Amino acid sequence: MKIVFMGTPDFSVPALNALVDGGHDVALAVTQPDKPKGRGKAMQMTPVKIRAMELGIPVVTPQKVRGNTEFLEQLKEIAPDVIVVIAYGQILTTDVLELPKYGCVNIHASLLPKYRGAAPIQWAVINGEEMSGVTTMQMDAGLDTGDMLDRVEIVLDPDETGGSLFDKLSAAGGELILETLSKIENGTVVATPQTGETNYVGMISKAMGEIDWTLSAISIERLIRGLDPWPSAYSHVDGKTLKFWKAKNDLNPSDPSAKPGQIISVDKDSITIQCGEGTLTVTELQLEGKKRMDTGSFLRGYTLDVGTQLGRGV
């Protein structure tokens, strides 16, 4: 098939690789414009742009696709059989959606209709889902509302993080799009309308990572895993940000009189913190300005006493 590929972050790259390795003609890659990044604010290309250039695929980076007649004419000139979209970052208008012979196919990182929207991967971990996956979908004018074409399920590990699930679903999306396109081409694809429970999940922000210690230890442990590697779950101690990377929960409180966010025990390899329900034993953390490290190494260079209260302003 002749394909226009639309994607932006690292998550999109395995799908682009799969299309090329699968023998498809990727005539154009569309991605977001270069953006300044880091302390020096140097302009940085998106992962899709970098990979497309390595593969010799022409790249365009329209600021906006909505109302962009030049971009629309470019698509008409290419006349793609299908446009494949994965984490592109802009909403497509009807004139683009209806232009290809087989329309636009989206690779979405959830088992639709659950977890429509921008951050299905992190929320699957945060909400304690046992199963996630990837869905290919015939795009329509709505937000992740089109008919489902194919799907693959992934069982979450007990210690699954946002980052590890990201990698699994990204790889699965590359495999699934090849199966979907093959079915579209040979006429065996079955489009299934989305029905049943659905929810939209918005963008992840740094503010989401601040731990509310009145929540249960289970919820906080899931938050830690879901926001690993970005933006991370954190609290404050001695006026500094303290990030948490690995922990385990225990529903049996060690000190019923302790306040949520209070350290109730410290040993050589861990600290235990009272939560609204149960306790959290932390085994990997990172103090502001320091490296990520196991709690044993951390405690050899920094003292945390029993009774220390964690939270904003402390």
Q: Domain coordinates of the chain in residue numbers?
A: 2-201, 207-299
**pLDDT value at position 27?**
98
**pLDDT value at position 139?**
97
The superfamily CATH assigns to domain 207-299 is Formyl transferase, C-terminal domain (3.10.25.10)
**pLDDT value at position 313?**
59
> What is the chain's percent helix, strand, coil content, to nearest 5?
25, 30, 45
- The answer regarding whether domain 2-201 maps to CATH 3.30.360.10 reads no
| Residue 282 to residue 269: CA distance in whole angstroms | 9
Count of other CB atoms within 10 angstroms of residue 70: 8
Is the whole-model pTM more than 0.75? yes
Name the stretches of the chain with pLDDT < 70. Answer: 251-254, 313-314
**pLDDT value at position 252?**
64
Tell me the helices (H) and strands (E) count for the chain, helix number first: 8, 17
Q: Residue 302 corresponds to which tokens in the numbers above?
A: 């920094």
Cα 29 to Cα 21, 84, 168: the distances in Å are 15, 10, 23
